[in-house]
Structure 1
Amino acid sequence: MTTYSFPAPAQPDLPIAGSEDRFPVRRIFCVGRNYEAHAAEMGNTVDRAAPFYFTKSGHAILQSGQDMTYPQATSDLHHEIELVVAIGPSVGLSHAPASEVEIFGYAVGLDMTRRDLQAVAKDGRKPWDTGKDFEQSAIIGAITPAADALLDSAHIRLDVNGETRQSAPLSDMVHDVREIIAHLSTLYRLRSGDLIMTGTPAGVGAVGVGDELVGSVDGLEPVRTKIVA
């Protein structure tokens, strides 16, 4: 029996719509600049040849419906609404080609960003970790099983205090879900429990204490949070 010098952290997980089971989260991959209009509003262009990625720890997850505490070390917290892809149990320990990667389901997520820290990192040609990967920075709703998710003509949307901030068809993604999985599979061995946050449309902006955020994708469970001190 393995013993530890202190209690091991709890396994991050997410609810599954229509089930009492939970989805154990392994890693979170995030796609950058996957909507052309968002890239433009940030002063960038998209790379149509291939997506690029950053990561978040599974321990950055905040359950939908819980309050987000305004994070330390920032005065410019931004929202980014995203479609989240959950990788299913068909992927074993050995490398699986993209065609064999099973999509377990889909969810709606918020990639919360310390924009000021990200800007400093960009200016210094440094990694984005401090701007992207911090406590409660991945707020994700319940996962809808893939068989129940009809996303062909779906829209993604974020409302802040009842007013729409972000809205776009998922078809606006530069790289669609299968393209992302195909490319990511050349870089990592995707395994059960991995999540992919597929990028955000235009309209990102700052939020503060007291703001209430509700994100949605047609046919999926919404994601909700309130920013608190």
Structure 2
Amino acid sequence: MIPWVHLDTAAIPGDGGTLKLMQRGHEFSIMLGANELMNSRLSGSEEALATLACDRIAGRSHPRVLVGGLGMGFTLRAALAHLPADAAMVVAELVPSVVAWARGPMAGLHAGTLDDPRVSVVEHDVAAVIEEAKGGFDAILLDVDNGPDGLTMAANDGLYDYTGLAAAREALKPGGVLAVWSSGPDTAFTSRLKRSAFTVEEVPTRAGRSRRGARHMIWLATRP
């Protein structure tokens, strides 16, 4: 068996722990301690996060989309494939090394998406980007810290509490969609979305492209 090689280590700002980038042959993994946050073999649910949201804003002129968390770029790449040429995408990534990995050892996975003229990358907390948006986005795609039940930073919980959801709602245009990825279901989060005046869909999605692997959850919350 091909052994794993430790390529790099990155500290998460705000004492959120340490990420490790690992490689085995053509396979990549990003680890937080003993937990695997993402693997290049399993991209189905991250891609579904993008396609499900983009389907719901199809036909809009000059759509603006915010992606929270670059990761391995699967959500960004899927969104670009579904959005028109006049779209604008903002990618907010808190850990600068994740952006460096996308342009370095994982450049093949990202397939030039960071150089797409529709894309701008902000090395910043996505919560701050949302707070400043004020009705600026047609869709917000969040794949941050394993979902509402986070692993890294307690501050990330603020994205998913009532205050964070109110900020996301205000950052969306009427009819805009907040799409949230999670490693599993969370009935309390579903309730918070509904109480935050969103129309809510829950979509269970397999981790693998071939409908195999762990079952993840995607919420599609539409601002009326």
TM over 0.5, shorter chain: no
TM-score by length of 1: 0.31
If asked which structure has higher relative contact order (CA below 8 Å, sep 6+), I would say 1
Higher helix fraction: Structure 1 or Structure 2? 2
TM-score by length of 2: 0.31
